[in-house]
Structure 1
Amino acid sequence: MKSCISIILVMLALGLSSCKQDSDKPDFMPEQDKMASLLTEIHITEALTRCNYIQDRRKSNNYYKEILDNYRLSPEQFDSCIAWYSNNNKEYLELYTLVTDKLETERQLILSRYYSKEYPKSIWQELDSIQQINGFLNWNYNK
């Protein structure tokens, strides 16, 4: 029984120490909204890389460097910012709430442009024409 209680106390102490608030916020850390914008840009770049819109991994690394340069951060400083947020769970959750909101706003903007009159309707006609040509070629080939 005593060993069970001591195990629970050790686990509780470890749990509380991992949630410790570290007030030593780096001086170079951007404000929360700017940090959210930075992370939004990084996540969009990651998505483009994973979907092969950025085919060369070295190019994506250049994009990351450019993003960090725009926010006047070195990779080491960025890592320090992320480490600080990972030790401050409440702020980290607030930050990622902003990031997901920004990503959703970007998604809505893209969708609204895609379905609006700004998006060229002719592309659908072009795709339809290509499908008709392919169908015609397949029809002639099968005769």
Structure 2
Amino acid sequence: MKKVIFYIFVLIGVCACTPKPKRPNFVPDQEQMSLLLADIYQVESVMSQSGRRIVKDDEKNAGYYKSILDEYHLTKVEFDSAISWYSSHPDLFSDVYDDVISILSKRDAVVKKELAEQSKERKDVIEQIPDKKSIWVGESNYKLPLEEQDSTDVLLPFKIKADSIKSGIVRLNAGFTFIKGNELDSAMLKMWLCYADSTADTVRYLINKTFKKQIGNVSQIIPDGKTLVSIEGLLFEHDTAKVSNVEIEDVKMVLLPKLGAAELLER
């Protein structure tokens, strides 16, 4: 037993005396590297959600990466070398990865809190607007998938004929809750207003994955001189290759008077 204890103390002593790997001057320390990778992840997430391919050497995307690297006073060559250095020290890289997850989680929580506050404020504003007219004709609540094992035909398209409406603001909102078994990271609430002159206006709302109910909403002012003939869209546009376990509640669409409503909605 004494020998076992002796070997344990020897092992602890060796580990304690093992020097940390010397980091080259151009390689960011753990804190800076974590912040840098978190920033890059967020930029790539935005590009991915916008449908843009993430190719770092693409000239169209190079500007995004350069602006981030400039903030950390790094060149692309130095960044690639820093990644290689951390990759060769997996214990340190694992700590950096954990830090990145923590940073992104905190940022995500802040964003969701701000969006919830804005959504509540806008909802209160809507209730104050007189003469609003409900124009939604579909179901108010949905549970996806509509059928067991069905993950494809759940985009929930809608089309509402308009009676030659020439003025106002069309506003669509719904509550979204991702539930257990969902494989999606995000989805889209999309609405487009179709006019008599064959033109259209499209508005979108990105629905980020969260297991708490979030209110998604889109609004579009009918331009002067335009005549609205139909309102179309998708309540839940998503990657149909993944299972979508989602509850959609309180779907509403209203036509608001243009006079005064725009100013209230911009608050």
Is the pair's TM-score, using the shorter chain for normalization, greater than 0.5? yes
CA positional deviation for 1:60: 3.0
For 2:26 and 2:113, the matched residues in 1 are separated by: 36
CA positional deviation for 1:131: 7.4
> Does residue 1:107 correspond to 2:84, yes or no?
no
CA positional deviation for 1:117: 5.0
Q: Which amino acid aligns with 2:71?
A: N
CA positional deviation for 1:105: 0.6
Aligned Cα RMSD in Å?
Answer: 3.7
For 1:58 and 1:119, the matched residues in 2 are separated by: 41
Unpaired runs of 5+ residues, structure 2, are 1-18, 127-131, 139-158, 164-228, 230-267
1:121 aligns to what SS in structure 2?
A: helix
For 1:121 and 1:36, the matched residues in 2 are separated by: 35
2:161 aligns to what SS in structure 1?
A: helix
Cross-structure match for 2:68: 67
The range that moved more, 23-32 or 97-106, is: 23-32
TM-score (norm 1): 0.66
Unpaired runs of 5+ residues, structure 1, are 1-20
CA positional deviation for 1:26: 1.9
Q: Which amino acid aligns with 2:78?
A: Q
Cross-structure match for 1:138: 161
Q: Contact 1:113 / 1:119 at 8 angstroms: preserved in 2?
A: no
CA change 1:137–1:47 in 2 (3 A) is: closer
For 1:36 and 1:119, the matched residues in 2 are separated by: 33
2:28 aligns to what SS in structure 1?
A: coil
For 1:72 and 1:111, the matched residues in 2 are separated by: 30
One of 26, 36, 39 as aligned partner of 1:38: 36
For 2:31 and 2:105, the matched residues in 1 are separated by: 15
Cross-structure match for 2:23: 25
For 1:130 and 1:60, the matched residues in 2 are separated by: 44
One of 46, 49, 54 as aligned partner of 1:48: 46
CA positional deviation for 1:116: 1.6
Q: Contact 1:45 / 1:60 at 8 angstroms: preserved in 2?
A: no
Q: Contact 1:39 / 1:99 at 8 angstroms: preserved in 2?
A: yes
Cross-structure match for 1:18: none
Q: Contact 1:22 / 1:87 at 8 angstroms: preserved in 2?
A: no
For 1:48 and 1:123, the matched residues in 2 are separated by: 29
TM-score (norm 2): 0.37
1:28 aligns to what SS in structure 2?
A: coil
For 1:44 and 1:131, the matched residues in 2 are separated by: 37
> Identity across aligned pairs (percent)?
25
CA positional deviation for 1:84: 0.6
Structure with greater contact order relative to length (CA < 8 Å, sep ≥ 6): 1
Q: Deviations over 1:13-65 (max 9, x none)?
A: xxxxxxxx993522111121111111011000000110117799644320100
